């Protein structure tokens, strides 16, 4: 038997805090990146109960971690325990990546850039001047809404089963757009519930439709985020679904039947992890390595871990 020398006294520590945590594929992604880049870094999943969050964050700093990721339900609450927060993370109101350097903990949000980077790569276009529709009004919807506004979308419509929640998010994003310097403000930011025929007109005029809801996610794979009456699309439209399990949701299957460009959320998940790794190491990963890592990651994501025991 050969001794395992992968972890030693010089190994840099990173990881993920959340509750629950066992379903995450982030450890496989980050440890694969470290292997490909020949870096002495290990990434550990850490299940942190809510009452232990302040102690856990302080403990990671005391233990000499280089940084850590943050997942549900702590992306907003962790901000109270950090020394600095990036401008984009503050605008979004959520942190998913923390870098610890010289005793300073700084929070970032790589979900937004992970989404935008994956979208540009997989569709060959961006949001500038586009009419964008977002389905859902939760945390992921907020992250993506702020990002498309910062990237100069022409118009943004938010549709949610609860209209009040969509309207509140639209108001928040409108305020952010108004307060942000060097942002080309959308001509219109609106929120609405799922009521026909209003959403039929909204969907019909869209250039890009983004599903941020869990509708269609495993195990409820037959669900669709829109009523069937509103699912009449045009081949020029781009449909992006943040879900990656299953790889093709009912929503994407329907979109592709109309000849639309359909993209799932696997690239977003991958690129937000890559962005976090680059923040911790200060090292830009080459496109060649990204292609190799994504090939391996696709296999991992096809068989994700089961939930917490």
What are 55-113's pLDDT values in tens digits?
999 999 999 999 999 999 999 999 999 999 999 999 999 999 999 999 999 999 999 99
Instruction: Specify the pTM.
Output: 0.89
Helices (H) then strands (E): counts for the chain: 10, 12
Architecture in CATH of 12-108+267-302: 3-Layer(aba) Sandwich (3.40)
Domain extent listing, the chain: 12-108+267-302, 113-264
Out of 2, 10, 61, 75, the active site residue is 75
pLDDT per residue over 168-222, tens digit each?
Answer: 999 999 888 776 655 556 668 999 988 888 899 999 999 999 999 999 988 888 9
* DSSP label at residue 153: B
pLDDT value for 101 = 97
pLDDT per residue over 146-178, tens digit each?
Answer: 999 989 899 999 999 999 999 999 999 988 877
The residue with greater pLDDT, 9 or 182, is 9
pLDDT value for 183 = 54
pLDDT per residue over 229-278, tens digit each?
Answer: 888 899 999 999 999 888 899 999 999 999 999 999 999 999 999 999 99
Which fold would CATH assign to domain 113-264? Rossmann fold (3.40.50)
Task: Determine if residue 129 is left, alpha or beta; phi over 0 gives left, psi from -120 to 50 gives alpha, anything else beta.
Answer: left
pLDDT value for 104 = 97
CA distance 67 to 281: 10
Share the mean pLDDT of the chain.
92
Task: Tell me the residue ranges of DSSP E strands in the chain.
Answer: 12-18, 41-47, 67-70, 84-85, 97-101, 104-108, 131-135, 155-159, 188-192, 208-211, 238-241, 261-263
Told to judge if 253 belongs to the known catalytic residues of this protein, a careful annotator would answer no
The residue with greater pLDDT, 143 or 23, is 143
Three-class DSSP category at 128: strand
pLDDT value for 309 = 47
The residue with greater pLDDT, 305 or 117, is 117
Residue 171 tokens, joined: 């108001």
Residue 230 tokens, joined: 């509103």
pLDDT per residue over 17-48, tens digit each?
Answer: 999 988 888 999 999 999 999 999 999 999 99
pLDDT value for 26 = 92
Q: Say whether 113-264 and 12-108+267-302 share the same fold.
A: yes
pLDDT value for 187 = 66
Residues written for the chain: 309
């Amino acid at each position: 038997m050969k001794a395992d020398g992968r972890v030693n006294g010089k190994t840099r520590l990173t990881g993920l805090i959340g509750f629950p945590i066992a379903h995450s594929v982030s450890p496989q992604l980050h440890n694969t990146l470290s292997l490909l880049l020949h870096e002495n870094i290990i990434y550990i999943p850490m299940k942190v109960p809510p009452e232990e969050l302040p102690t856990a964050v302080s403990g990671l700093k005391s233990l000499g971690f280089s940084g850590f990721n943050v997942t549900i339900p702590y992306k907003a609450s962790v901000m109270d325990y950090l020394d600095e927060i990036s401008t984009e993370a503050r605008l979004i109101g959520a942190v998913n990546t923390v870098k610890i350097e010289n005793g300073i903990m700084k929070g970032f949000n790589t979900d937004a850039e992970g989404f935008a980077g994956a979208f540009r790569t997989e569709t060959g276009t961006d949001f500038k001047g586009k009419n964008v529709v977002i389905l859902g009004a939760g945390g992921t919807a907020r992250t993506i809404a702020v990002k498309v506004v910062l990237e100069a979308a022409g118009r943004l419509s938010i549709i949610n089963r609860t209209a009040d929640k969509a309207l509140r998010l639209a108001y928040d994003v409108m305020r952010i757009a108004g307060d942000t310097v060097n942002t080309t403000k959308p001509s219109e930011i609106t929120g609405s519930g799922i009521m026909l025929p209003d959403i039929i007109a909204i969907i019909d005029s869209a250039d890009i439709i983004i599903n941020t809801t869990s509708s269609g996610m495993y195990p409820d794979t037959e669900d669709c985020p829109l009523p069937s009456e509103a699912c009449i699309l045009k081949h020029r439209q781009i449909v992006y679904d943040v879900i990656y399990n299953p790889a093709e949701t009912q929503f994407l299957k329907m979109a592709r039947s109309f000849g639309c460009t359909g993209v799932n959320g696997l690239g977003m998940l991958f690129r937000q992890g890559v962005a976090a790794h680059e923040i911790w190491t200060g090292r830009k990963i080459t496109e060649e390595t990204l292609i190799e890592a994504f090939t391996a990651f696709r296999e991992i994501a096809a068989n994700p871990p089961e939930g917490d025991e």
